[in-house]
A and B are shown apart, each in its own frame.
Chain A
Amino acid sequence: MVQPLDILTETPSQTAGPYVHIGCIPSFAGLPGVYPQDLGLSPIAKEANGQIITITGAVIDGTGWALRDAMIESWQPDAAGRFAGHPEADPAVSGFCRFAADKDSGLFTLRTVKPGAVAHRDGGMQAPHISLWIVARGINIGLSTRIYFEDEDNSNDPLLARIEQRPRVETLIAKRTGEGQYRFDIRLQGEGETVFLDL
């Protein structure tokens, strides 16, 4: 025998199921009035500094079908790369947003401020990105990924550099479709499967 480790094991995940909206965004789910408003309606207040952008996309399953019941959370820093809580962070940027696929089209929209680059622990910089966490019926543990931007310099990003199959890097890069407009699809499985993260 050896000494026991003073460490606990993480509680296991379970799927968020089809009714995650009731718990997380009840007004969206048709239960107005339980809370004054849904949590994470917007990651920014009106006066946020920086470029306001809109990212549109869908969460697509292995058959090519856009999920109608996915819920996504995003987390990001302000335009200068500072997360909420940092003493100099932009007070108009909470950085957190919750949004769901439209029940008819499957499309989601994230309106936010373009994030700044963030330092990495080893001293280098990470290219500007938004972290995503995706849950839905049939997803047994929430999926993490990131949105990078095609009009930023992604060449020295330490995470993108670790993707061995270079064509897969493209799955993490939002495509510019207009001034301040981007497209970012999340493919759960199959051709063009998104790179999901374990950080």
Chain B
Amino acid sequence: MTDRPDLGPLIPRQRPMHPVPYDPEYKTSVPRSPKWPLLSMESTPSEETGPRFGHALIGPLDNNLILNFAKDGSPAIGERILMHGRVLDENARPVPHTLLEIWQANAGGRYRHVKDNYLAPLDPNFGGCGRTLTDENGCYQFLTIRPGAYPWPNRANDWRPMHIHISVFGHSFGQRLITQMYFEGDPLIERCPIAATIKARSQLDRLVAPLDMARARPLDHLAYKFDIVLRGRRQSMFENKLEGM
């Protein structure tokens, strides 16, 4: 199943490093957050295995959001950016060949979704989703446009900072993670109740991608770096190895 040398259980999640489930400033979390504590137990094969996706799944434009919905051949409108980074585990080892999916608003802050009726117009050439697999070193990249900030119904005047939603699989179902990437320097991050569900400041900082001029391409696009760390597996020579794992 796994091409890892270690076959130990998943390292338990450090819940204080994640957002709180219940936060009255993010109103929808109030009726949707469990009140009972989670049932904690060492991981089992059900969490340690997980779906794998092959390169055959990925089309040539899947990681290019500027062109993957270009109806009349015109690129999407917006500030062109490269989003790139590495996926590592808690043991600081790359997570190769894992699926990343992203979705985002267009340059005006509007999603191509039936439930989004914000005033900003849809861009006929922008769908807003992309996917890719990390390479053997855990690296990935997307070419896209910078999403716009947008207002949302929560408190009277809440705005989401510019952000890109990211879904990562890893190699174990227990590593499954969805998060959001923010952009360096955006003053709306400090004002966002969703960002503020993360109470450890150093953890929120990890979602803010720095401008990366070393990867920007002159006369073409800027670049932002976003590294992702997934849960690791406990490394020990003393683990009981399960057959077939």
Q: Shortest beta-carbon distance, A166 to chain B, in Å?
A: 13
CA distance A190 to B36 in the complex (A): 9
Asked whether B13 is an interface residue with its Cβ less than 8 Å from the other chain, the reply is yes
Which residue of the partner chain A has the closest CB to B87?
A11
Contact across chains for B41 and A188 when beta carbons are under 8 A apart: no
Docked CA distance A44–B34 (Å): 31
B28 and A138 form a contact (CB under 8 A): yes
**Range, interface on chain A:** 35 or more
Contact of B179 among A11, A129, A190 (CB under 8 A): A11
- B31:A61 contact, CB within 8 angstroms: yes
The docked-state distance in angstroms from the alpha carbon of A122 to that of B21 is: 32
Contact A16 B23 (CB under 8 A): no
Residues on B with C-beta less than 8 A from A188 are 31-34
Contact partner, A75, options B1, B2, B15, B173, Cβ 8 Å: B173
- Distance between B232 CB and nearest chain A CB, rounded to angstroms: 8
Instruction: Give the chain A neighbours of B10 by CB distance below 8 A.
Output: 199
Also in contact, A22 and B128, with CB within 8 A (given A12-B206, A17-B165, A146-B46):
yes
Q: Does B140 contact A (CB under 8 A)?
A: no
CB neighbours of A87 from chain B (8 A): 244
A170 within 8 A of B: no
- The answer, among B26, B47, B89, B116, for a CB contact under 8 Å with A140, is B26
- Interface residues in B, total, Cβ within 8 A: 91
Alpha-carbon distance between A190 and B114 when the two chains are bound, in angstroms: 30
- From known contacts A23-B103, A34-B129, A195-B36, infer whether A9 and B14 are also in contact, taking CB-CB under 8 Å: yes
- Any A CB within 8 A of the CB of B223: no
Residue pair A197, B32 in contact (C-beta under 8 Å): no
Neighbouring A residues of B177 by C-beta, 8 Å:
10-11, 13, 142
Q: Which among A11, A39, A122 has the greatest number of chain B C-beta atoms within 10 A?
A: A11
Most buried by A among B39, B41, B45, B167: B39
Which residue of A is nearest B45, CB measured? A118
A17 to chain B, nearest CB (A): 6
B178-A10 in contact (CB<8A): no
Query: Contact partner of B165 among A23, A26, A136, CB < 8 A?
Result: A23
Least CB separation from B197: chain A residue = A140
Q: If the complex has contacts A19-B103, A84-B52, are A6 and B92 also in contact, measured as CB distance less than 8 A?
A: yes
Is A105 in contact with chain B by the CB < 8 A criterion?
A: no
Cα–Cα, bound, A170→B127 (Å): 42
Q: How far is the CB of A47 from chain B (nearest CB, A)?
A: 19
A73 at the interface (CB under 8 A from B): yes
Interface residues in A56-85 (C-beta closer than 8 Å to B): 61-63, 65, 67, 69, 73, 75-77, 82-85
Give Cα distance in the complex from A75 to B239, angstroms: 24
Q: What residue in chain B is nearest A168 (Cβ atoms)?
A: B36
What CA separation (Å) do A94 and B180 show in the bound complex? 28
Q: Are A11 and B39 in contact, with the CB atoms below 8 A?
A: no
- Taking beta carbons and an 8 Å cutoff, which residues of A are in contact with B? 6-24, 26, 29-31, 34-36, 39-40, 61-63, 65, 67, 69, 73, 75-77, 82-88, 94-96, 118-123, 126, 129, 131, 133, 135-144, 146, 158-159, 162-163, 168, 188-190, 193-199
Question: What are 13 A-B contacts with C-beta separation under 8 Å?
Answer: A10-B231, A12-B203, A13-B179, A14-B197, A14-B198, A17-B180, A20-B178, A24-B101, A35-B62, A77-B45, A86-B244, A94-B51, A189-B31
Closest 8 pairs between A and B when the two form their complex, measured CB to CB: A23-B103, A138-B28, A96-B51, A138-B32, A198-B38, A140-B19, A85-B1, A62-B31
